[in-house]
Amino acid sequence: MHHTPRKRFGQNFLIDASVIAEIIEEIAPRHPDRLIEIGPGLGALTRPLLQILNHLHAIEIDRDIVERLRQEFNPEQLTIHSADALKFDFSTLGDQLRIIGNLPYNISTPLLFHLSEFSEQILDMHFMLQKEVVDRMVAVPSTPDYSRLSVMLQYRFDMEQVFNVPANAFRPAPKVESAIVRMNPRSRSQLTVLDDALFAKIVSTAFSQRRKTLRNTLKHYLTQQDFAALDIDSGLRAENLAVERFIAIANFLT
């Protein structure tokens, strides 16, 4: 059955067998794992995973692909959730979740923030994303890629850029290079923010005007005396501040 990739769902299907094998090796699935695949598409990862796993959950928004998967796979092996991953309640699938997926660029950032809400139930995650997004996720302070996304995700996850994937590994070939990222939730004891909403607001405000100093971007939150008490140079920009310093600011205000 032929399927025409749909631009509105950001569909680029993985076709390179060597890349597929390398991804499976990095995921290292085991028989009893509770693994969820976001956007299984035409089953490039689904098939090799089902040769190893006792059972797999898949979340797919494209109803044509859902029907195709239901015709190909036994429901005892594959549970297909016909749903939008951005709205899906991952808590319904239990604990120790291992989540994987080839995420479309247009939803990758909001989906990563959505998944952050379930970090206590997640064992690990492996995603294929546009390389520039992964570069931002793992960026260190005082580099051009360091951003709000870096801070918010690095607070909740330890992350590693595993390997890059060329555009010709997909059909249709995207105009950009992709990369695999591994995300491991940090333990509850490492999540020291007292007010998550305030922390998110501080980070967002600080990065809202990248070229401005913290003295200007956070002027409604901190006085010069506050910066001195925090031992933070108000002449720095948001991109110069490590995650721990953003935590310190939020907790100071709390």
Looking up residue 85, the CATH number of its domain turns out to be 3.40.50.150
Please give the C-alpha separations between residue 161 and each of 81, 131, 146, 178, 244, in angstroms, as whole numbers: 28, 9, 14, 11, 21
- Whole-model pTM: value is 0.91
pLDDT band at 11, cuts 50/70/90? low
Please give the C-alpha separations between residue 149 and each of 23, 108, 239, in angstroms, as whole numbers: 24, 11, 11
Candidates 1, 129, 138; CA nearest to 72 is: 1
Three-state secondary-structure class, residue 200:
helix
User: What pLDDT does residue 169 have?
Assistant: 84
d(CA 70, CA 62): 12
d(CA 140, CA 147): 9
* In the chain, % of residues over pLDDT 70: 95
Domain around 180: 7-187
User: What pLDDT does residue 72 have?
Assistant: 93
* Residues 18, 135 within the same domain: yes
Query: Regarding predicted confidence, which is higher, 64 or 3?
Result: 64
Query: Which residues are CB-contacts of 249 (< 8 A; sequence separation ≥ 6)?
Result: 202, 218, 221, 222, 230, 232
User: What pLDDT does residue 167 have?
Assistant: 85
* Residues 56, 74 within the same domain: yes
pLDDT exceeds cutoff 80 at 231: yes
Query: Which residues are CB-contacts of 13 (< 8 A; sequence separation ≥ 6)?
Result: 5, 41, 42, 44, 170, 171
d(CA 51, CA 29): 10
User: What pLDDT does residue 175 have?
Assistant: 78
Which pLDDT tens digit goes with each residue over 172-225? 777 789 999 999 999 999 999 999 999 999 999 999 998 999 999 999 999 999
User: What pLDDT does residue 2 have?
Assistant: 47
Tokens of 219: 């002027």
* Residues 150, 209 within the same domain: no
Q: How many domains does the chain have?
A: 2
Which pLDDT tens digit goes with each residue over 81-139? 999 999 999 999 999 999 999 888 788 999 999 999 999 999 999 999 999 999 999 99
Looking up residue 238, the CATH number of its domain turns out to be 1.10.8.100
